[in-house]
Structures are given as C-alpha cells and as structure tokens.
Chains A and B, each alone.
Chain A
C-alpha cells in the first residue's frame, strides 16, 4: 500500500515535540474560538489565519489541522449548550443535544458528540488518505474542458443545491465571480475593475474577502440585532457516558459517518443533507422513538458524526482537485494559496511530503481534540458567557489585524469594511455566502481553464466541451438545474417532511 507508506512518512515528519506542541495549540485555540457563540468553523479558521503567518508551510498546516477539527467541535458544544446553532450543519445537533442538556444530560450529549466526532473524523481521514490519491490519479487524465466542467458543477452546486433560493444563490455566486475579476488579467496584463487604484492591480486577496464576508459581515449583522439579554447557558460537568449511552451511540456514529463522508466529498454535497438524513434514520431505527424531540442520544451521536465525516470528506476535492465545497474548506484553500501552495493534482506530486504531513496532522489533531475536550468541557462552557460587546469587538479587532497583515496596506482595511457591509447586506436579504466565496476562489481558475481550452481549439467555442468526463458533468449540471421541474414528474412525495431549521 503506497498510500499507507506515505502516510507513515507523514507521521514521521509530524511527530516531533515542536510539531505536536503546534498541533496542541491549534486544537486548543481552534476549540476556544469555535466555542464562542456566533463563530462557526469557517470564521474560526479565517480569524486564526494570522497565527500561522510567520511559520513555514508544514508547521502552518499542522496547526491548521488542529484549528479545523477544534473549530468543528467547538461549534457543536455551542449548539448543545446554547441551542441556537451558528451553522446550518449543527442545526440537527442542537435539536436533540439541547433537549438532552436541558434534561440534565449535557455531559452525555457532549461526550457522545466528542467521541462521535473522533470516530467519524478518524474514519473520514483514513478514507481521505485512501481516496485522495485515487482522485488525483483520475484527475491527471483530465484536460482543461473537464476542469472547467467540474468548476461549473461546483458553482451550480453551491448556488442551486445548497441554499433555499436559487436566484439568491446565483446572485451571490455572480458577485463572487465579479470580485474575482478585479486585478490584472493574468494572461494579457490588462487591468479589470481596478477603478484606477494601483493597489487593486494585484486583485483582492481571498483572505480579505473571507474575513470580510464571514467575520466582519457576521459581527455587523449580529451587532444590528444584538439580543440584549444573552441566552442562558446550561452548566455542565465532566462529559461521560454510561453503558447504555455507549450501546445507543456506537451504531449512530458509524451510520452518521457513512452518510457524512460521501456527501462531503461531492462537489454539491454539504453537511446539511447528511445530518438530516442521519437524524431521520436514527429516529426510524431507534428503539426509543418517543425520546426523539425530548433529547435522544442517537439524535446527537448520528448527526454529529455525519457533520464531522462530511468535513473530512470535503478535504478530498479540496486537496485533490483544488475544489472547495463548503465554507471551511474554502477558507482553508484561501489559506493554502496565501502560502503559495495551490491544491490540486499537482500538489500531490510536487509537495507530496507536505500533503501527507497535513493528513497525518489531521489524525493527530483529531486525537488531541478528544483528549483535550473531555476534561476541558466545563472550561469551554464558561467561554459562552463572555460579554457580547467584548466578543464582537474582539472579532472586529482580530479580523482587522488578520486582513492588514496579509499585505500591510490600510486599503485592505477599507476593502474589509466594504466586504463586511456586503456580507451584512447578504445576511439581511438571505443571500447565501458560500457561493460568493467559491466564486471568488474558483472564478479566476475557471477562466484560466476556459482560455486554455479555447487556445487548444484555436478559439473555436466547441473546445470548451470535451475530454473524458465533461459531458457527464454537464449532464449532472442540467439535472441539478432542471430538478425543480423534474421533481414534479418524478417524485411525488410531500416536501415538508424536512425538519424546520429553527428546531
């Protein structure tokens, strides 16, 4: 097994005292920031970017792996103890988790979430290690038209499938693509949308966009509607589980993982669908269906595992194709590019050591997370009580610091503010932010692939389609776009059986 050898070498690179310390710091600050109310995993990674600026890529990746899983777990702690989840992917965890917490079983809810995340994260990372090289092998055979098709699929998936309104999804996507246009055209050096501002010639840094939309936009939006009385936090002791809790949890963990990983790995998958599927499945299979809605442990164990496995799954297209499929992987991709590292098939060939070190650190981060979270949960719960003015002032403070540190120019702070206001408006009018970020990141790459394809066909537009998989992908895209029409004829099932997101 070639992959396993590589993975072992990766562990060899990572397992030094210094690197383990970095992983531990990453997990700790990732969880601490992720636990803070209103901060989801994507914002956690975006806000903590500057922490890694001074490091070499390997060390930075090790820390990112910790921050990534820490931020994920922090989010579920918040939804269990506070109920109102910050991310759509932890909506389901909140339904049963918060009921359990209110019934005095917060410790068990946190424990099944932590152990379930560990199980799902470990299996998911293992699948990532086995699958990503296969995807790379396949991806190397693809040409420019195929890549273009895959990116169009990511655009359509993020805009039309994941959100609730297609037109709003596409509006967000197009705004993102326009932001991606700003700067010098890479082929001809012509200025586009720079408005005569010299600093804009290099384009708008993706990190600035991510921090502006996620952190500043969110802080402004919350500030505009700040709850004057903070939500009540349920006190919690040391997480633990009794024998019957274990018995009721382990199957949902595995089933949740099985739901989560494939959805995460698909360009239009996301974490919402698998968490809902996992919840519905556990409810159907449970011996205690009457407990659902009143705090059933299966309803925490399954969706939480699905959520984490989906997060591991998103790393497959992210690393192997350079294709982000959720907000967190989009921000991670932005972070990688800021190190001059372009994820994609070539990454596995050129920087194979780095990739395997990252995958090994994902295992380590995941394990550290479990060791850290079981004893520290009561401390994390205290973070939920931080006074809100300090919390959101702190977000703006760190967001500004991170955005300034990218290029050291004050103009980036103004851009950050403008993008923050854009993010504010998008939250006000229900425009999803994910398509925008994906548009900013993938837009320039998609344009480059399109132009390479046209160069190969001497400008004939038929050159945009071709290659081994582009036809299949365009077929999938047509189905995705035509789905609302198709559904009327194909499926005759009441649509309102989905859980209401307000829980």
Chain B
C-alpha cells in the first residue's frame, strides 16, 4: 500500500465518497447518542451513551485516516470472482433493475403472498441479468415459488405469507 508508484496513476477519487459516508454515519451516531437521556445507576455506571459516542469519534478518525490514505495514492482493490469481469465499468442498468425487482417483492409479499411476489422477484431478476426467455423464466419462477412455499411454509412451518392465494394453495 505504501509503495511509491512510479508511473502517474489516475486516482480513484470516488473513494473520498466513502470517507464522506463514514463521516456522515459518525455524525448520525453522535447526534443520536446525544439525544439519549443520561441514565446511570449503580449497576450500570456508564449507561447507554458513551459507547456510541466513542464509536462515532473513532469513525471520524478512521474517515480522516482513510482520506489521508487516498491522497497518498491508497486504493481498495475491487473484489474479483468467478463471474466478474472488472474490465467493464459498473453496469448500473442491471443493478437498478435488480433493485426494482427486489423492492417489488418487499412491497407485494404481504398483500399478494410469497408465491406471487417471489415469482416476480425471480422473473424480474433473471430479466435484469439479461435472460430473454420470458416464458421459460416465468415457468421456472412460478415453479420455484410454489416448491419453496410448499416445502418451507407448509412442510417446515417457515414464516411465508400465502397472501391473496390463501385458501387456494
């Protein structure tokens, strides 16, 4: 990390965003802690306040050190992996579509039930990831949702809502 770079290197300035994020979290933690009434008793001399304040202070220190590291050319290595091709920039369209599929599931799981919301989640994610076999994807999505619902909710008693299909499934 501390080696001198010989060649001129385009620094990853977005890393300053991480420092800012850490600093914001620090401020949030400290503000939240300062709002807590001081509660101390003989069996708890320090109360709930000091730990968050210490953590907030440490976060500020780390945010500053992080920024210092970045100015000195420090760079975090993006995670590599089996299916990851880091030569391309982040494909935001895919990520946003996945987030949308995810949010749809969160919004619909209680009213419509897992079988419908889960199917939408799988189908939407497969679409976001570039699969265009719409009918096949839908069949797989419905099959997966039904199988998981019957195995987990009915077979193992796991908490999954039936939603509007209550009584039909």
Spell out A's residues near B (CB within 8 Å).
37-38, 50-51, 53-55, 78, 82, 84-86, 164-165, 167-168, 170-171, 174-175, 177-178, 181, 185, 187-188, 190-193, 216, 218-228, 230-231, 387-390, 392-394, 396-398, 400-401, 404-408, 410, 413-414, 416-417, 420-421, 424-425, 427-431, 447, 450-451, 454-455, 458-459, 502
CA A257 to CA B42, docked complex, whole Å? 50
Given that A401-B160, A410-B110 are contacting pairs, would A222 and B83 also be in contact in the complex, using a CB cutoff of 8 Å? yes
Given that A165-B76, A174-B58, A458-B45 are contacting pairs, would A226 and B51 also be in contact in the complex, using a CB cutoff of 8 Å? no
Q: B20 an interface residue at 8 Å Cβ cutoff?
A: no
Contact A397 B121 (CB under 8 A): yes
> Quick one: which of A192, A226, A401 contacts B52, CB cutoff 8 A?
A192
Residues on A with C-beta less than 8 A from B162 are none
Q: Who on chain B is nearest to A174 by CB? A: B59
Contact B81 A86 (CB under 8 A): yes
Q: B8 an interface residue at 8 Å Cβ cutoff?
A: no
Residues on A with C-beta less than 8 A from B161 are 408
Residues on B with C-beta less than 8 A from A393 are 121-123, 125-126, 129, 131
Given that A38-B83, A164-B77 are contacting pairs, would A451 and B98 also be in contact in the complex, using a CB cutoff of 8 Å? no
CA A392 to CA B137, docked complex, whole Å? 13
Give, as a whole number of angstroms, the nearest-CB distance from B49 to chain A. Answer: 8
> Assuming A37-B83, A181-B52, what are 12 further A-B pairs, CB within 8 angstroms?
A84-B81, A174-B58, A221-B84, A222-B81, A222-B83, A397-B121, A400-B121, A405-B158, A405-B159, A406-B159, A413-B102, A427-B79
Residues on A with C-beta less than 8 A from B95 are 220, 223-224, 424
Contact A185 B76 (CB under 8 A): no
> Quick one: which of B66, B81, B82, B156 contacts A167, CB cutoff 8 A?
B66
* Among B58, B129, B157: residue with most chain A CB under 10 A: B129
* Among A170, A420, A429: residue with most chain B CB under 10 A: A429
> Quick one: which of B90, B91, B98, B114 contacts A396, CB cutoff 8 A?
B98
Q: B86 an interface residue at 8 Å Cβ cutoff?
A: yes
Residues on A with C-beta less than 8 A from B156 are 51, 53-55
Give, as a whole number of angstroms, the nearest-CB distance from A37 to chain B. Answer: 4
Interface residues of B in 122-145 (CB under 8 A from A): 122-123, 125-126, 128-131, 140, 144
Main secondary structure of the interface of A (DSSP, over half): helix
Interface residues of B in 61-76 (CB under 8 A from A): 62-63, 65-66, 69, 74-76
Contact B45 A225 (CB under 8 A): no
Contact B36 A192 (CB under 8 A): yes
Contact A192 B114 (CB under 8 A): no
Residues on A with C-beta less than 8 A from B76 are 165, 168, 429-431
Contact A226 B83 (CB under 8 A): yes
Residues on B with C-beta less than 8 A from A421 are 99
Given that A225-B84, A225-B85, A401-B114 are contacting pairs, would A429 and B157 also be in contact in the complex, using a CB cutoff of 8 Å? no
Give, as a whole number of angstroms, the nearest-CB distance from B118 to chain A. Answer: 6
Given that A185-B48, A417-B106 are contacting pairs, would A84 and B80 also be in contact in the complex, using a CB cutoff of 8 Å? yes
Given that A226-B94, A392-B129 are contacting pairs, would A428 and B78 also be in contact in the complex, using a CB cutoff of 8 Å? yes
Give, as a whole number of angstroms, the nearest-CB distance from A120 to chain B. Answer: 24
Contact B106 A190 (CB under 8 A): no
Residues on B with C-beta less than 8 A from A450 are 51
Contact A192 B48 (CB under 8 A): yes
Residues on B with C-beta less than 8 A from A223 are 91, 94-95, 98, 128-129
Give, as a whole number of angstroms, the nearest-CB distance from A178 to chain B. Answer: 6
* Among A220, A392, A393, A406: residue with most chain B CB under 10 A: A393
Contact A389 B79 (CB under 8 A): no
Given that A192-B32, A223-B98 are contacting pairs, would A408 and B159 also be in contact in the complex, using a CB cutoff of 8 Å? yes
CA A420 to CA B105, docked complex, whole Å? 15
* Among B29, B83, B86, B152: residue with most chain A CB under 10 A: B83
Q: Who on chain A is nearest to B70 by CB? A: A167
Contact A410 B109 (CB under 8 A): yes
Contact A188 B48 (CB under 8 A): yes
CA A394 to CA B98, docked complex, whole Å? 12
Contact B98 A165 (CB under 8 A): no
Q: B116 an interface residue at 8 Å Cβ cutoff?
A: no
Contact A226 B62 (CB under 8 A): no
* Among B46, B62, B82, B131: residue with most chain A CB under 10 A: B82
Contact B39 A188 (CB under 8 A): yes
Given that A38-B82, A174-B58 are contacting pairs, would A430 and B90 also be in contact in the complex, using a CB cutoff of 8 Å? no
Give, as a whole number of angstroms, the nearest-CB distance from A406 to chain B. Answer: 8
Contact A224 B36 (CB under 8 A): no
CA A167 to CA B44, docked complex, whole Å? 32
Query: 6 tightest CB-CB pairs across the interface, nearest first?
Result: A430-B76, A459-B45, A54-B156, A393-B125, A413-B106, A389-B129
CA A18 to CA B159, docked complex, whole Å? 24
Q: Who on chain B is nearest to A388 by CB? A: B83
Give, as a whole number of angstroms, the nearest-CB distance from B140 to chain A. Answer: 7
Residues on B with C-beta less than 8 A from A388 are 83, 129
